[in-house]
């Protein structure tokens, strides 16, 4: 139903998530010849966190980055930046991450709904 409304242009349908990137290698498993050890040089780095709204119908991405820890406050801040950019009714799809289901995040939803 939401995708049909987005396809006709009645609403914007945005998918929101966040992810972190760093230079710390993560190799949980791999295939290698018997007797050969696999290794990846390690370099410690801070995580670059990216938060974004993706609209697959328009192929657009509204994103921001931070080196700070991503918590509910950071997510709410990104939502507030995004709502200033929208021009028609918009639905944001989020997953069940704890920062999306926290009391503080849930309290923000009615405020956003007033902005359409």
All residue ranges of the chain with pLDDT < 70 are: 27-28
Q: Is 103 left (phi over 0), alpha (psi -120 to 50) or beta?
A: alpha
pLDDT of residue 27: 66
What pLDDT was estimated at residue 39?
A: 76
- Output the pTM of the full model: 0.81
Q: Are 72 and 107 in contact (CB under 8 A)?
A: no
Please report the pLDDT score of residue 19 as a whole number: 95
Beta strands in 22-89 (DSSP E): 48-55, 60-66
pLDDT recorded at residue 25? 75
Residue 43 pLDDT: 77
CA distance 24 to 47: 9
How far apart are the C-alpha atoms of 110 and 24, rounded to whole Å?
39
d(CA 107, CA 105): 5
Sketch out the chain's domains with CATH numbers. 2-114 (3.30.420.10)
Task: Work out the burial of residue 100: count CB atoms within 10 Å of its CB; fewer than 13 is exposed, 13-18 middle, 19 or more buried.
Answer: middle
């Amino acid at each position: 139903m939401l995708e049909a409304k987005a396809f006709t242009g009645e609403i914007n349908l945005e998918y929101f998530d966040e992810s972190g990137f760093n230079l710390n290698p993560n190799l949980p498993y791999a295939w290698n010849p018997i007797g050969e050890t696999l290794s990846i040089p390690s370099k410690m780095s801070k995580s670059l966190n990216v938060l974004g709204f993706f609209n697959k119908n328009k192929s657009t991405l509204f994103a921001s980055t931070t080196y700070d820890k991503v918590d509910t406050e950071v997510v709410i801040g990104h939502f507030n930046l995004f709502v200033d950019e929208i021009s028609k009714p918009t639905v944001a799809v989020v997953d069940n991450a704890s920062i999306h289901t926290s009391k503080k995040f849930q309290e923000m939803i009615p405020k956003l709904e007033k902005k359409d």
